[in-house]
């Protein structure tokens, strides 16, 4: 028995499903999760010493790659002074200044510890600011695991067939209205049916938790218009896209300005950081300034801030990193479109990519749901056995980093093409 198997057997006795986050359990693809010992650049090594080219990259935080020097050096230096104080520190100001000075629609920001916490807080602020109760989300979009968002949620909730989690009360879900991604009319109808009651529309500006589903032309612009017409706030959940597509995220990439934005992943450079921010008049609702309460013992943790600040500084000072990583994403999609038959849909934006085991186009949750997850499972394990670490679930994304090379991308494309062919043979 290998060390991953040994660890998994032990883990299942003391951790639910043997993991601390469901998608890691290989539940939808089967087999034994690889316990990772270390990561470096574009690669990870598991407890059995096997090396993989990594296209998960911890689900998005590692735009500079594993063990990137800026984050490591900064965190190492910060921890020499202590791990946490529960008091303000300079790094919190510096990272907030870096963001507010370079992301125009973020005039004020609050640091928290995860994307979930950022979304939960942004929803509360939107309700506090508007005095309204209802929120509109999109089927298949995932915004973390706060109760009101576990309604037709994506990512692991979709993967494990529980888009509506047990334990979420009808009351908690009652104010969550569901629209269809890339369908502005579905949003317009909800506004019409709930006049004056919708506090906000929350959207992944590039959906990346039902696989990757880019916004159709005009979709995000329509959401902006509908929110303005109905006195609701537009929240971009940029936990994945923030600081990934470009420094200003999807808002900058697509030229649509949200009222609030949520961040996670890259903002911490690999350490646990989330954040929410936006227009000053809205953010001034947040305690201790305003009546919307939100707090956190480790919010703005100095070691996490150091890692996040070093990462954002590197990205801001070296914009060529964005052109390179986005070019690698385009190269991967191009290679896959040339190699995979019409039975697979290749999607993506920037350094995000996805192979759906269903013919395209994939424009919403219903389209994504047609994917053959049994084929995906065979595909995943073939790739894993050939040294390529992909998301252990169809309804996720492939993430590239600045540590990946063209050679990495061509290797990945080759393995993916072979893996897809193998997966389809299984159906023969
Ligand atoms: P966290 O609470 O996991 O830091 O962030 C929640 C979240 C919020 N919004 C978006 C758009 C997200 O993608 C996420 C989390 N992403 C998943 C990957 N699909 C995290 C992986 C996991 O759940 O283990």
Using one digit for the tens of pLDDT, what is the confidence trace for 19-73? 999 999 999 999 999 999 999 999 999 999 999 999 999 999 999 999 999 999 9
So what's the pLDDT on residue 156?
A: 82
Distance CA 349, CA 24 (A): 24
- Choose which residue among 244, 264, 275, 352 to substitute to test ligand 1 binding: the one with the highest number of ligand atoms within 8 A of its C-beta: 264
Listed residue (101, 84, 78) closest to 297, CA to CA: 84
For residues 153 and 273, which has the higher predicted lDDT (pLDDT)?
273
Using one digit for the tens of pLDDT, what is the confidence trace for 196-221? 999 999 999 999 999 999 999 999 99
Listed residue (56, 52, 205) closest to 141, CA to CA: 205
- Over residues 268-289, the mean pLDDT reads 98
Using one digit for the tens of pLDDT, what is the confidence trace for 157-171? 777 766 688 899 888
- Answer whether 72's CB lies under 8 Å from 310's CB: no
- Over residues 240-245, the mean pLDDT reads 98
- Over residues 316-325, the mean pLDDT reads 97
Q: How far apart are the first and last CA of the chain?
A: 32
So what's the pLDDT on residue 428?
A: 55
Domain range annotation of the chain = 3-67+319-425, 69-317
Residues labelled catalytic: 142, 237, 265
**Percentage of residues in the chain having pLDDT higher than 70:** 99
Measured in angstroms, how far is the CA atom of residue 248 from the centroid of ligand 1? Answer: 19
- Over residues 212-237, the mean pLDDT reads 98
Q: Give residue 118's pLDDT band: very low, low, confident or very high (50, 70, 90).
A: very high
Using one digit for the tens of pLDDT, what is the confidence trace for 91-111? 999 999 999 999 999 999 999
So what's the pLDDT on residue 129?
A: 98
Q: What is the DSSP letter of 35?
A: P
User: Can you tell me which atom of ligand 1 is nearest the CA of 155?
Assistant: 19
CATH 3.90.1150.10 fits 3-67+319-425, yes or no: yes
- Over residues 303-321, the mean pLDDT reads 98
Measured in angstroms, how far is the CA atom of residue 115 from the centroid of ligand 1? Answer: 6
Which residue's CA lies nearest to atom 7 of ligand 1? Answer: 144
So what's the pLDDT on residue 125?
A: 98
Measured in angstroms, how far is the CA atom of residue 338 from the centroid of ligand 1? Answer: 31
So what's the pLDDT on residue 163?
A: 63
DSSP assignment string, 219-266: HHHHHHHHHHHHT-EEEEE-TTTTTTSSTTHHHHHHT---SEEEE-GG
Q: Could you tell me which residues are beta bridge partners of residue 45?
A: 38, 51
Which residue's CA lies nearest to atom 15 of ligand 1? Answer: 144
Q: Give residue 176's pLDDT band: very low, low, confident or very high (50, 70, 90).
A: very high
Question: Which residues contact ligand 1 via a Cβ below 6 A?
Answer: 21, 23, 59, 114-116, 119, 142-144, 155-156, 204, 209, 237, 239-240, 264, 274, 396
Using one digit for the tens of pLDDT, what is the confidence trace for 368-424? 999 999 999 999 999 999 999 999 999 999 999 999 999 999 999 999 999 999 999
- Choose which residue among 111, 112, 155 to substitute to test ligand 1 binding: the one with the highest number of ligand atoms within 8 A of its C-beta: 155
What beta strand segments (E) does 9-57 contain? 36-40, 43-46, 51-54
- Choose which residue among 209, 260, 298 to substitute to test ligand 1 binding: the one with the highest number of ligand atoms within 8 A of its C-beta: 209
Distance CA 139, CA 137 (A): 7
Cα–Cα distance list, 259 to 25, 182, 243 (Å): 36, 20, 17
User: Can you tell me which atom of ligand 1 is nearest the CA of 204?
Assistant: 11
- Over residues 224-233, the mean pLDDT reads 98
Give the 3-state DSSP-derived string for 193-213, with helices as H, strands as E and coil as C.
HCCCCEEEEEECCCECCCCCE
So what's the pLDDT on residue 127?
A: 98
Cα–Cα distance list, 253 to 59, 206, 238, 245 (Å): 21, 10, 12, 7
CATH number corresponding to 69-317: 3.40.640.10
Using one digit for the tens of pLDDT, what is the confidence trace for 124-136? 999 999 999 999 9
**Percentage of residues in the chain having pLDDT higher than 90:** 93
Question: Which phi-psi region, left, alpha or beta, contains residue 269 (left: φ > 0; alpha: ψ -120 to 50)?
Answer: left
So what's the pLDDT on residue 161?
A: 65
């Amino acid at each position: 028995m290998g060390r991953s198997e040994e660890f998994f057997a032990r883990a299942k006795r003391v951790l639910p499903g043997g993991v601390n986050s469901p998608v890691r359990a290989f539940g939808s693809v089967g087999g034994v999760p690889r316990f990772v010992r270390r990561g470096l650049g574009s690669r990870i090594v598991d407890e059995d010493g096997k090396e993989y080219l990594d296209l998960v990259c911890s689900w998005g935080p590692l735009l500079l790659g594993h063990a990137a020097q800026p984050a490591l050096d900064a965190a190492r230096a910060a921890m020499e002074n202590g791990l946490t104080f529960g008091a303000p520190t300079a790094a919190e100001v510096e990272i907030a200044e870096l963001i507010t000075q370079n992301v125009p629609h973020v005039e004020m920001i609050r640091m928290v510890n995860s994307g979930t916490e950022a979304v939960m807080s942004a929803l509360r602020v939107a309700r506090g600011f508007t005095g309204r109760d209802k929120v509109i989300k999109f089927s298949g979009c995932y915004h973390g695991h706060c109760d009101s968002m576990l309604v037709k949620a994506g990512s692991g909730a979709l993967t494990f067939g529980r888009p509506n989690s047990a334990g979420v009360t009808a009351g908690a879900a009652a104010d969550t209205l569901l629209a269809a991604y890339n369908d502005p009319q579905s949003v317009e109808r909800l506004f019409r049916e709930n006049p004056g009651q919708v506090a906000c529309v929350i959207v992944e500006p590039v959906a990346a938790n039902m696989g990757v589903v880019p916004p159709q032309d005009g979709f995000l612009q329509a959401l902006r218009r509908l929110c303005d017409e109905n006195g609701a706030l537009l929240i971009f959940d940029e936990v994945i896209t923030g600081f990934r597509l470009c420094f200003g995220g999807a808002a900058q990439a697509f030229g649509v300005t949200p009222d609030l934005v949520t961040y996670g992943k890259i903002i911490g450079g690999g350490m646990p950081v989330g954040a929410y921010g936006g227009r000053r008049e809205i953010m001034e609702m947040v305690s201790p300034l305003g009546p919307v309460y939100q707090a956190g013992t480790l919010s703005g943790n100095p070691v996490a801030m150091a890692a996040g600040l070093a990462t954002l500084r590197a990205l801001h000072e070296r914009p060529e990193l964005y052109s390179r990583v986005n070019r690698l994403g385009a190269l991967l999609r191009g290679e896959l479109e040339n190699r995979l038959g019409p039975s697979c849909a290749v999607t993506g934006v920037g350094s995000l990519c996805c192979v759906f085991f269903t013919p395209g186009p994939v424009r919403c949750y219903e389209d994504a749901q047609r994917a053959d997850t049994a084929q995906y499972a065979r595909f995943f394990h073939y790739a894993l056995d050939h040294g390529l670490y992909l998301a252990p679930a169809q309804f996720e994304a492939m993430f590239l980093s600045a540590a990946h090379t063209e050679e990495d991308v061509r290797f990945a494309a080759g393995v993916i093409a072979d893996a897809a062919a193998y997966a389809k043979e299984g159906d023969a």
